[in-house]
Structure 1
Amino acid sequence: MYFVTGTDTDCGKTFIASALLCQAKNADKSTLGLKPIASDCEATPLGLRNADALSLMAQSSIELAYSQVNPISFKPAIAPHIAAEKMGVDISPSRVCDSLTPVLSLLSQEDFCLIEGAGGWRLPLGEGQFLSQVVKQLSLPVILVVGVKLGCLNHAVLTQEAMLADGIKIAGWVGNILDPNIAYLEENLTSLHQLMTSACVGVVPHLQDCCVERAALELNIDILT
């Protein structure tokens, strides 16, 4: 079981998490992707639905109700703690943990489960609390998705420093090339390999169609620690 975070919003957390689940499923593992908090949800006849959560569900062999996969959802595409404050919804770390515990208790050690965060590592939950506290409380190892573009080295190192300062185990990192025209791509990747303290699970090239199955070929979940 791993928590998936990223260097920033739109770094490709869902894309990479879905690809990791896809690879695990192809290796005949039982898979489950969870998205405890999501903004930018669409109103449907069945209730609010989030594209990220649906992508994770598409790669999950363990079937759950949508409300179990994404228990806290907001329609506006804004920071969750702002949406929660306006709607009077509790998204404190204890509330998030409580929403995950029933599902996590059903899993075995053989199941490959990913819990995808929202935003970056220090996603605010309001009142000076952060989603990172949930990860620490649940003692989850973390997979860091690095969105490879100009500035990614700084973002990656700062995120890594914050996680290590929190006493978090970093299970591995994935490079997701966002900008196909980034100058000195190979040099930037070499720097990431030198600067990161955990193993590289893979580097996914820029894919116009964001094909999860294609991205899965670039990853190796056996590297995760």
Structure 2
Amino acid sequence: MNALLITGTDTDAGKTVLTTALIAYWQKYCRSRSLGVMKPLQTGIGDRETYGQLFQLDQPPELLNPLHFTAPLAPPIAADLEGRQVQLEPVWQAFETLRSQRDFVLVEALGGLGSPVTHSTTVADWAWDWHLPAVLVVPVKLGAIGQAVANVALARQMKVHLRGIVLNCIRSTSIEEIENWASVSLIQRLTGLPVLGLIPHLADPTDVEKLAQIAADLDLERLIPEAL
């Protein structure tokens, strides 16, 4: 599968920071290969607008974000408010179109692995159904270890292939706090997955050069071997 799903433990875990960092890296260092970016389902204002502000993606809006609801709520609830349904077949068709046109596609999920996509399915169901390899973004905070363990357990239950975990500093964090709240050795031991790197807190998340450097510091051989 020439695609990677970027998911997380929850909303605001840092999926967008990782996605934009990987886009920045790809556009700076992998120009010989084409990259597609997709936010399959979005509610409210968010990632598709961020991508458009930061990058020239050279792809139509319907392939960047094929399904959108106005209210910034869980998709089935946002859809109900508009008298609509969450139709995933057109989203899959858009993904297949983009994947056929590009060497690699980054897919940013919504919420966490357990977040609802429809009234009966979650992001984990969707990842399994699309057979997407994934990376799990875990925010560095008190409880991070438990969140990592729980989400990896859900991924295994749903047969989602996780390539690893990326830690994200959601605020300015000391080395001691990182070790106490999100011990790499303990997370790796309890989940059986590699921690592929740490994203430092970004004062300016729109700094494309800094984003590319952050991605370069990750374990890209495991995360996106297709780019190397």
- TM-score tier, shorter chain, comes to 0.7 to 0.9
User: Residue type matched to 1:32 in 2?
Assistant: G
Note the C-alpha offset of 1:181.
4.2
Greater shift, 185-194 or 116-125, is seen at: 185-194
2:158 to 155, 160, 166: 166
Question: Higher strand share goes to which structure?
Answer: 1
Q: Which residue is 1:200 aligned to?
A: 195
Aligned to 2:108: 116
Structure-1 separation of matches of 2:168 and 2:56: 24
- Once the two structures are aligned, what percentage of the paired residues are identical? 28
Deviations 1:178-209 (A, max 9, x none): 13347632242332233332322210111221
2:218 corresponds to 1:219: yes
Q: Does 1:14 align with 2:11?
A: no
Secondary structure of the residue aligned to 1:203 is: strand
Deviations 1:119-144 (A, max 9, x none): 11122133322232221122110011
Structure with greater helix share of residues: 2
Q: What corresponds to 1:47 in structure 2?
A: none
Stretches of 4+ aligned residues off by more than 4 angstroms? 57-62
Question: Is residue 128 of structure 2 the alignment partner of residue 133 of structure 1?
Answer: no
Residue 39 (1) aligns with residue 29 (2): no
SS, match of residue 117 in structure 2: strand
Count of aligned pairs: 213
Structure 1 residue runs without a partner (length 5+):
42-50
* d(CA) in 1 for partners of 2:138, 2:152: 10
In structure 2, list runs of 5 or more residues that go unmatched.
none
RMSD over aligned CA atoms reads 2.3
TM-score (ref. length: structure 2): 0.83
1:47-66 equivalent positions in 2, closer than 5 A: 51-57=46-52, 63-66=58-61
Q: 1:92, 1:125 within 8 Å by CA — same for their partners in 2?
A: no
